[in-house]
C-alpha cells in the first residue's frame, strides 16, 4: 500500500544520499519537473485557491467560521471523533495485523481478504450497510442512528484497514532471530515487544494512523445516512461545509476547509515527531 512508502522510504533516500540533492541529471530534472507540475495542478493550486477564497474577507473570515457556534461544534465533533477512532485503530489495527502475521488459524486468508472491504466499497454503500445493521430497523435490535456513537461507528468502519495494511508487511519482515536474540539475552516476552518489536513497527503504525485520521476528518458518505447530521450534535465538518456551499456562502466554506487543512497538517506532523521519538528510544 502507498502508506508504507509514504511513511518511511522517502526520508531514507534523503538521508542516505546527502549531497546528491543538487546534482540532478537531465533525466531526473525532467522527472522532477513533471512530478511537480502534476502535484501542483492536483494539489497545490486548488489548496492555494481555497486559502485565497477563505482569505478574501481577511482574518475575520476565519474568525467568523471559528466563532460560529454551529461550525465550532462541527469542528470539535469531527476532530474529537477522528482522534478517538484513530486511537482505537492503533490498538485494534495493530492487533489484527499481529494476528494475521503471527498466528495460524482457519479462515486466516479469508480475514486477510475481507479487511480491505471497508476501504474498497463506496462510502455511501458503507453508510447504507451501517444504517441497515445499526439503524432504526436493526435486526440486532441496536439502534444508534442520530447519536454520536453512529459517527464513531461509521468512522471506525471505513478507517479499519489503514493501520492493518501498513503494519502487516513490516511485521512480516521482522526477523524471528532478532526476537530470539533478545530472548537469549534474558528479555521476557513483554520486554521484547516493548523494546524490539514496537520500535520497529511504530513508523508503520504512525503512517497508518495519519492515513486513518486524514480519512476520518474528511468522511462524508458513510456517516451522513446514519448520523442524521443534527446541528450541534452529530453534524461533522464535511456536512457543514456542504451546508455553507448550498447556502451560497463560499467564503465560510473555504475558511472552514482551511481550518481543517491546518488540523490535518498539525496531526500528521505531530504523529511523525512522535514516531521518530519512539523509534529512536528503543
Integer Cα distance of 217 and 234 in angstroms: 13
Q: CB 191 → other proteins: shortest distance, Å? A: 6
Element (H, E) at 48: helix 45-54
Listed in sequence order, the residues at least 6 apart from 165 whose beta carbon sits closer than 8 Å to its beta carbon are 1, 3, 97, 115, 116, 119, 208
Residues whose CB falls within 8 Å of the CB of residue 88, separated by 6 or more in sequence, listed in order: 156
Kindly identify the residues of this chain, within the stretch 198-257, that bind other proteins according to CB under 8 A.
199-200
Query: Quick one: which of 33, 46, 247, 282 contacts other proteins (CB under 8 A)?
Result: 282
Considering the complex, state which of residue 9 and residue 180 has its C-beta at the smaller distance from other proteins: 180
Q: How far is the CB of 197 from other proteins (least distance, A)?
A: 11
State in angstroms the smallest separation of the CB of 100 from other proteins.
23
Residue 264 or 278 having the CB closest to other proteins: 278
Residues within window 95-114 making contact with other proteins, judged by CB under 8 A: none
Residue number, 54 or 202, with CB nearest to other proteins: 202
Q: Exactly one of 66, 92, 121, 196 binds other proteins (CB under 8 A); which one? A: 196
- Residue count of the chain, please give it: 282
Instruction: Choose one: 196-204, 213-221, 244-252, 254-262; the region binding other proteins (CB under 8 A).
Output: 196-204
The grid cell for 83 is: 482522534
For other proteins, give the closer residue by CB, 17 or 25.
17
DSSP label at 135?
S
Binding mask 154-193 for other proteins (x = CB under 8 A): ---------------------x-xx-xxxxxxxxx--x--
Minimum CB separation of residue 16 from other proteins in Å reads 9
CA atoms within 13 A on the CB side of 46: 7
Q: In angstroms, rounded to a whole number, what is the distance separating the alpha carbons of residues 44 and 46?
A: 6
CB of 185 to other proteins, least distance (A): 4
Contact between 261 and other proteins by CB under 8 A: the answer reads no
CA distances from 230 to 2, 10, 75, 133, 239 (A): 35, 42, 14, 20, 10
Count of CB atoms within 10 A of residue 71's CB?
Answer: 23
* Shortest reach from residue 167's CB to other proteins, in Å: 16
Please work out the total of residues on this chain that contact other proteins, with binding judged by CB under 8 A.
20
35: how many CB neighbours lie within 10 A of its CB? 11
Alpha carbons 116 and 126: distance in angstroms, whole number:
13
Nearer to other proteins, 17 or 280 (CB): 280
Give the footprint of other proteins on this chain (CB under 8 A): 175, 177-178, 180-188, 191, 195-196, 199-200, 279-280, 282
Amino acid at each position: 500500500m502507498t502508506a508504507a512508502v509514504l511513511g518511511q522510504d522517502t526520508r531514507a533516500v534523503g538521508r542516505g544520499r546527502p549531497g546528491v540533492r543538487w546534482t540532478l541529471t537531465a533525466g531526473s530534472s525532467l522527472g522532477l519537473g513533471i512530478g511537480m507540475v502534476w502535484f501542483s495542478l492536483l494539489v497545490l493550486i486548488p489548496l492555494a485557491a481555497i486559502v485565497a477564497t477563505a482569505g478574501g474577507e481577511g482574518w475575520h473570515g476565519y474568525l467568523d467560521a471559528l466563532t460560529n457556534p454551529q461550525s465550532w461544534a462541527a469542528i470539535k465533533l469531527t476532530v474529537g471523533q477522528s482522534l478517538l477512532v484513530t486511537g482505537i485503530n492503533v490498538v485494534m489495527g495493530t492487533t489484527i495485523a499481529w494476528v494475521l502475521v503471527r498466528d495460524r488459524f482457519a479462515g486466516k486468508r479469508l480475514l486477510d481478504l475481507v479487511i480491505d472491504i471497508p476501504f474498497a466499497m463506496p462510502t455511501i454503500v458503507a453508510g447504507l450497510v451501517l444504517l441497515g445493521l445499526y439503524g432504526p430497523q436493526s435486526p440486532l435490535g441496536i439502534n444508534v442512528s442520530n447519536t454520536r456513537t453512529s459517527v464513531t461507528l461509521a468512522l471506525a468502519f471505513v478507517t479499519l484497514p489503514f493501520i492493518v495494511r501498513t503494519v502487516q508487511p513490516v511485521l512480516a519482515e521482522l526477523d524471528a532471530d532478532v526476537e530470539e536474540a533478545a530472548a537469549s539475552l534474558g528479555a521476557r516476552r513483554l520486554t521484547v515487544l516493548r523494546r524490539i518489536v514496537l520500535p520497529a513497527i511504530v513508523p508503520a503504525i504512525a503512517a497508518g494512523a495519519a492515513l486513518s485520521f486524514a480519512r476520518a476528518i474528511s468522511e462524508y458518505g458513510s456517516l451522513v445516512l446514519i448520523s442524521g447530521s443534527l446541528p450541534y450534535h452529530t453534524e461533522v465538518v464535511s456536512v457543514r461545509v456542504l451546508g455553507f456551499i448550498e447556502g451560497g456562502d463560499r467564503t465560510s466554506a473555504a475558511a472552514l476547509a482551511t481550518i481543517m487543512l491546518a488540523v490535518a497538517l498539525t496531526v500528521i506532523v505531530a504523529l511523525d515527531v512522535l514516531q521518530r521519538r519512539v523509534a529512536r528510544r528503543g
